[in-house]
Structures are given as structure tokens and as C-alpha cells.
Structure 1
Amino acid sequence: MTEARPDLDLDEMVAELRPEFVGRLTAEGKLNAPEWRAAVEGVPRHECTPRFYVPSDAPGITTYVPFTRELVGTEPWLRRVYSDETLITQFDGRDLDWSDPQPIRGATPTSSSTMPSLVVQMLDALNADDGTTVTEYGTGTGYSTALMCHRLGAANVTSVETDPGVTARARDALDRCGYAPRLVVGNGLTGADRRVPAERTIATMGVRGIPWAWVRETEPGGLIVATLRGWLRSLGLVRLTVEDGRHATGRFIAADPAFMMARQQEAPRNFGMLPGDDAGKVRETPHGPGLLRMPDSGFVAQLAMPNARTFDMTADDGTVQTYVLDAANDSFAVLSRDGAGTGWKVREGGPVSLWAEVEHFLALWHAAGSPAATAFGMSVEPDCQRVWLDDPEDGPSWRLPVMPGA
């Protein structure tokens, strides 16, 4: 951790660092719209992130270390705030004890101030003008909310957050920034209880499918910008046009945005009963588990197995096996090296051949030239959500899970 330094003048440091920050993002091509540049320069991010955690460089299990002005000094704290970095403000859905902050290990981040370049990318994708009305799902620290207030006017911004404590801190931060948007505490998957649909909807958390309430509460012709996630990985950033209040369609505009999953859609904590060593049928496969971790093939695998989770476990003979388990129907695939150690074998069981599904859709994807995520689109209807490749009518398509309460 950076050693604490004598206190410096906060206002002078901020006046110096914010333009530098905007200049870096602009030079890197991450902040192109002049209106959003003005918002990033005008909004004091440090008011939204007075205390946070960042990952350390220590080996082994990820360790997060506390970062506050009091712990490290004004300049190091502000330089971290005005960097293109995600700042963690909550773990495991519980408030942090800042009376004696300690390093944290083995915990799951559940709230943060997201990397500003990603926030701005999403805001720019809204194609919003002065006075555009917007609903945001995932208030978090309030930083992205403040950017929209600066650009669009606070009266036009509604933000929904599931955690009352997070909302209270965001409200205080927004008040310090001089903004008073409408803040709602509740399950964002059920909407924002809007009387009049918004012209734009944006979600700063990952969802397994687009909640129907978001379509219903976005006016026809309006846009929804959100991140689709699965339990294996992030799928990507999608932008949809609401056509008539009952349909929305659009395309992926970026891959792998790092947003946390909506709490109501997190994977079950318990993997359930693992398959026995003799369960299932064994066969050779041309694909090993590495494809799950690759950007583009992992995207296809997530679509092929929407309810799957995976982990590695060392067998009694010392070999590493990769388990892929379907939480919806108890199907499984266990991947391991073949006897020669040069290829792969899979042991499958259950009502669905999970790895055969992956192989089938990988073959279709390869036949299409192995395109990136931005070649895929999405269609949302009341009873069906599909991701498709190239063409919504004729291309290969995958159904997304429909989540209860969404």
C-alpha cells in the first residue's frame, strides 16, 4: 500500500487531476463525445468514492486492500480515484466496517464505481440529447448517475438500486455533487414504477436476459443499453431498439464488459451433487476446456449452455478435471486429458449432452468464419428472447433463459 503523505490541498489537486484524467481518456479514444467529456470533467468522482478497495498484487487468492484519504494521503487517493479503474465499495452484499479497515480475501465484490471508460461507452451508446429521459438500473456509488444528471438534467434521471444502504450513500454523494435525481430502492428486474416510459434505459449490472419491465417502461423508438451475462462469463454489451412496447431488437456493440451480475440472478451457491466417477458415457472430443476462457469461443459456449457453471478439481490420480454442470436439469460434462495426454475426452450424463451442444454450435460458428460478438444480435419478445448470428430470421439462434420475477 502507498505510504501516507502529508495532506495536500484537495481543491487544487482535483482542479489539476480532473482535466488530466479527461485528457488521458480522450487521447486513448475512450471519451469522444464533447458533451460526455464535459460531464466527466464536471462531476467530482471523489465525492462518490471517498472509501474503496482495490486488488493488491499479492500472489494467491485475490486480496483487496482499503484505500482512503486518511490511510494513504490526499494525492495517492485522488490519483487512484481519477484513474480508469473500477473501485470496489462492497463485498458479499454487506456494508463494510470503515472504523478499522483491513485487507479482504476470498470475498465477492457486489458494488463498485465502474471503470469510467466503460461507463462513458455505455452512456455514449444511449445516443441521448439534452433533456432525454433515462432510467438507470444499478445506482452503485452514484457516479454514472451524476454524469447523466450533468448531461441530461437531474429531473430527467431515474436510478434504481436493490440495496438500501448503497442507495443511501449514493444519495449523499449526489447531494454533495449538487444533483437530486429520482432514486428508487427495489428489484430493478421488475422496473422503476414509471408512470411515463423513459426514452432511454441503461443497466450497469449484468442480466441473463432483458427484463420485460425494461421493454414496457421504455417508449417505442427508445433504446435499451445493457450487459448480458451468464454464469460462465459475460456475453457483451447490447443495444436494443424498442419497436412497439412488445418487441425489442438490436445488436451487440462490445464484448466482455466487466459488470457484476444482478443479485436476483446470481448462480446458486451450491453446485449440488457431483456426478460419480462412473456416471455418464466417455468419448473423445476435439475441444478442451480452454475454449470456455477464450473471448469468442467462450461467448458461443455460454450461449450453448445458458444454465451451466464450471470449476476444476484434481482427481485422485493427480489429473485436473473440468466439471461443467447444468443447474436447470442436472446434466453434466467432465473434461480431462486422454491417455496419451495430447487430446481430450469428455464424460457426459443427464438429459442434455452439454458438450455435444457446445461442439454443435462451435461448428456453426466456425462455418460462419468465427465472427466476434459484434456479429451477433438479439430479439426480445414477451415469451422468448433469442441471440442470433448475422440474421434474426435465417441465422443460427440461441434462446436465453427467462428468469422468474424479471
Structure 2
Amino acid sequence: MRHRLGDELVTSIEVDQTVGARARRTLHSLGYTPTLIVGDGLEERQAGAEFDRIVATCSVRTVPYPWLWQIRPGGTITTCLGGWMQASGLVHLTLQADGSAAGRFTGEETSFVLAGPHQSPPRSAFTMHSGITRPTSLDPKHLWSWVGRFLARLAAPSAELLGAGEQVILLDTATGSQAWTEASGAGWAVHQHGPLPLWDAVERAFERWEKAGRPGQDEFGLTVSGEDQRVWIGDPSGPSWLLPG
């Protein structure tokens, strides 16, 4: 970016001091001197700074509001919206005159490591409980597709996805809720345990997706306002999911 734009138009922020120092040495050895900052890129706000573009090379569960506060109207934010479902979506947002930001996901299968504060909490070994068992018409293998994991992440934002193939395990470490699937005759059964019916929420998400015509991720969008952050299908008035604060 410095090669294309010049030193004075590029600012980079890195939270790790060692990584930041190595980047500085490397760039300086090449004759490049953009503004380099060691700090928390999720929260830190540069005094008097106003940018045309923010590009994040980490994933976030929700878009940090300080990013919106540092972008000029019409400026853009490009980031990966990730989570604990091994799912992510690259989204390109444009800041509106009212201070909100909106845009669509690109559909590219792009992912970055989650930012430190957005990573899942530590999890000890767990025991699968039978809980309430019922048949399910949702083929568990659908959750392993790119869009499937993304839908599951929207439906159960605080759950982790474990297992493989027909064995899907959803585990919510905050509440201890879990759901897991197994083959049952010619179909599948799901076991749910705990206060959050995780599989019910995932089934509803897939039903809404089916009714919308099974759109690809590039037909999803994100709106970030002062009230909340929502992922939607088709347009902001379509089916939507509220992201956790």
C-alpha cells in the first residue's frame, strides 16, 4: 500500500510489540516509512485521524465501533466477520451520512485468525448428555459447507462447532448448552441439553435460508448502526440475525 499510495497515506496498527518491531525493521530496510503504531486496533482511536479505508487482517465477531468513528462518510471498512463455528465472511462496508455502515459479503472463502478479545473462552473436557432427543430433517453434513457454518454461527453465536460429517456437536461454553447429532435409521436424530436449544435455532436459520432460495454468501449483507449490528439476506428488510454485543 505504501508503494501505491506513499508513506503519508498509510497507517498500520499492531497489538503485539515483537511483531510490530519486526515489521518496522523490515519496512525501514526497504526504504518504507508509513505510520506504524503498536496498540489495540480494536479500541484505540487516533486523535484527529480520519481515514478513507480500514482493512482488518484479523477476524472479529462484531465490528468495533471505534472503526466507524475514524472513517470519513463514504469511506469503507473491509473485514472478516468470524466466530466460533469455523465460519467467516469477508464483508465490505461503506459509512453512511447518519454514521451507520452497511455492505455485502463478498462470498470469497476468506478467513483470518480471530482478534484476541474475540476468541472463544477456555473450554475443559465435556460430557455429551442425551438431553431431549428428537428426529431432525436437517442433514448435519450441511453445517460443514461454507454457508452452512456461517448460518449456524448466526443462529447460535456463542456456540462452538465440533465433530465431523454426520456427527455435529454444538457446545455453548457460557451456559453449558449442547446439541449433538447421530444417524437414526434413514435419517438423523439430535440430542439437546441445557437452557439454549441450539439445534432449534440452527434449524430455523436453515429454514429461512431455504425460503430465500438458498442464496450464496454474496447475497448476505451487514448493517452496523448505533443500536445494533445485523446480518441480513437480500436487503436490509429481509431475514436478519442480531449479532451479540
Q: Which residue of 2 aligns with 1:238?
A: 91
2:245 is the counterpart of 1:399: no
CA–CA separation in structure 1 for the residues paired with 2:12 and 2:47: 11
Q: Which residue of 2 aligns with 1:290?
A: 141
Task: Please tell me the residue identity of whatever aligns with 1:398.
Answer: W
Q: Which residue of 2 aligns with 1:269?
A: 122
TM-score by length of 1: 0.57
Per the TM alignment, residue 202 of structure 1 is displaced from its structure 2 partner at its CA by 0.7
Task: Please tell me the residue identity of whatever aligns with 2:242.
Answer: R
Q: CA RMSD in A?
A: 1.9
TM-score by length of 2: 0.93
2:164 is the counterpart of 1:164: no
Which structure shows the higher strand fraction?
Answer: 2
Q: 201-210 vs 285-294, which deviates more?
A: 285-294
Per the TM alignment, residue 324 of structure 1 is displaced from its structure 2 partner at its CA by 0.7
Q: Which residue of 2 aligns with 1:193?
A: 46
CA–CA separation in structure 2 for the residues paired with 1:194 and 1:219: 14
CA–CA separation in structure 1 for the residues paired with 2:117 and 2:49: 25
Greater RCO (Cα-Cα under 8 Å, separation 6 or more) = 2
CA–CA separation in structure 2 for the residues paired with 1:370 and 1:226: 24
Give 3-state SS (helix, strand or coil) of 2:21's partner.
Answer: helix
2:201 is the counterpart of 1:357: yes
Per the TM alignment, residue 212 of structure 1 is displaced from its structure 2 partner at its CA by 0.2
Q: Which residue of 1 aligns with 2:151?
A: 300
Task: Please tell me the residue identity of whatever aligns with 2:241.
Answer: W
Q: Which residue of 1 aligns with 2:169?
A: 323
Q: Which residue of 1 aligns with 2:34?
A: 181
Which structure shows the higher helix fraction?
Answer: 1
Task: Please tell me the residue identity of whatever aligns with 1:266.
Answer: Q
Task: Please tell me the residue identity of whatever aligns with 2:129.
Answer: D
Per the TM alignment, residue 295 of structure 1 is displaced from its structure 2 partner at its CA by 1.7
* Equivalence map 1:32-111=2 (5 Å): none
Q: Deviations over 1:191-216 (max 9, x none)?
A: 34241211111101111111000001
Give 3-state SS (helix, strand or coil) of 1:150's partner.
Answer: helix
Q: 1:271 to 1:397 in 2, by over 3 A?
A: farther
Per the TM alignment, residue 381 of structure 1 is displaced from its structure 2 partner at its CA by 1.3
Give % identity.
39
Unaligned runs of 5+ in 1: 1-147, 314-319
Q: Which residue of 2 aligns with 1:366?
A: 210
CA–CA separation in structure 1 for the residues paired with 2:207 and 2:128: 30
Q: Which residue of 2 aligns with 1:345?
A: 189
Larger radius of gyration: 1
CA–CA separation in structure 2 for the residues paired with 1:154 and 1:329: 48
Give 3-state SS (helix, strand or coil) of 1:190's partner.
Answer: coil
Q: 1:245 to 1:262 in 2, by over 3 A?
A: farther
Give 3-state SS (helix, strand or coil) of 1:237's partner.
Answer: strand
Give 3-state SS (helix, strand or coil) of 1:213's partner.
Answer: helix
- Deviation beyond 4 Å, 4+ runs, structure 1: none
CA–CA separation in structure 2 for the residues paired with 1:298 and 1:206: 15
CA–CA separation in structure 1 for the residues paired with 2:124 and 2:209: 29
CA–CA separation in structure 1 for the residues paired with 2:35 and 2:22: 14
CA–CA separation in structure 1 for the residues paired with 2:242 and 2:220: 13
Per the TM alignment, residue 243 of structure 1 is displaced from its structure 2 partner at its CA by 1.1
- Contact 1:216–1:245 under 8 Å retained in 2: no
CA–CA separation in structure 1 for the residues paired with 2:207 and 2:49: 45
Per the TM alignment, residue 401 of structure 1 is displaced from its structure 2 partner at its CA by 1.8
- Contact 1:184–1:192 under 8 Å retained in 2: no
